Structure 1
Amino acid sequence: MTVRAGRTQTCGKSEARTRLEHARAFADTAELALDTENDASLNVSASLAVLAGIASSDAVCCAVLGNRARGQNHREAVDLLSGVAAVGAEMSKNLARLLDLKDNAHYGVFFLSETKARQAVKWAQRMVTAAETAVLG
């Protein structure tokens, strides 16, 4: 079943694998940033986790639906992703959680807590793992 929400871009398995590589790199780097002694690193870590979530969503949607969300509103990706059987419901929930942190992580004027940053990385890692299963089999 194809669910369309907002502006989309056609893509396929090749693009899915590329976005999956991006997702894994963002998630792994987000985890590394957690282990520094700098408070700003928590925001960097959460920001990278958000990017990992978006890239994971793109990978799954490209592989399964043949298109990915391309609108200015990242929430459109949550709706599109929710239409993917098997992994969509859980992944869309985690993407929504990550997007809730996006503005504060990327543009905020205060530091995120270590707890919030660790949650973001956990959600991103879950998304990447699910995307790897969906894209690579």
Structure 2
Amino acid sequence: MAGQRDCNSVVTAGRLSKATEFFELAELREDTHPNAAGDLYVDAGITASDVICCVRLGVHSNTGKHNEAVALVKKADSGSERHLSTLLSLKNKAAYTHQNLSSAELKKMNRAADHLVEKARRLVASRT
């Protein structure tokens, strides 16, 4: 289907590795570089969402359209889409505007990314 890419174990493992890397670095830099950390939380959430979709659907989103990615995650794991939506709603502020993320926004992003990364880890672990 257009806007989706097939997954295999190599793609899934690679996406999970990146999700973990982005999330861990974001947590390390949250206090000193909050906007960069916020952007990394978005990256972690997107790549973790790809893993969730890979495990459950055999495909992940390959489109720049956020609504399509959110819909695919909802299909793969109902409830997780709200965490991805949270991250995507703050993406522009973190990366593309002159405004800084507030500590409350960063905390919300941390929780959303953490949920997605942990869900992705559990799904992959349950397959092996």
What TM-score results when the alignment is normalised by the length of structure 2?
Answer: 0.92
Q: Offset of 1:35 from its aligned partner?
A: 2.6
Q: TM-score if structure 1 supplies the norm length?
A: 0.86
**Equivalent position to 1:21, from 5, 12, 17:** 17
Q: Which runs of 5+ in 2 are unaligned?
A: none
Cα RMSD of the aligned pairs, angstroms, is 1.3
Q: Deviations over 1:49-94 (max 9, x none)?
A: 000000001111112211111112132111011112xxx1222110
Relative to its length, the structure with more helix (as a share) is 2
User: What is the identity percentage for the equivalent residue pairs of Structure 1 and Structure 2?
Assistant: 32
Counterpart pick for 2:111 among 112, 117, 122: 122
Aligned-pair CA distance for 1:113: 0.6
Of residues 34, 42, 47, the one that matches 2:30 is 34
- Kindly tell me the number of residue pairs found equivalent between the two proteins: 126
> Which of 42, 54, 65 is the equivalent residue of 2:57?
65
Aligned match of 1:107: 96
Q: Which amino acid aligns with 1:110?
A: Q
1:14 CA drift (Å): 2.0
**Displacement over 4 Å in runs of 4+:** none
Contact 1:69/1:80 (CA < 8 Å) preserved in 2?
Answer: yes
- SS of corresponding position for 2:75: coil
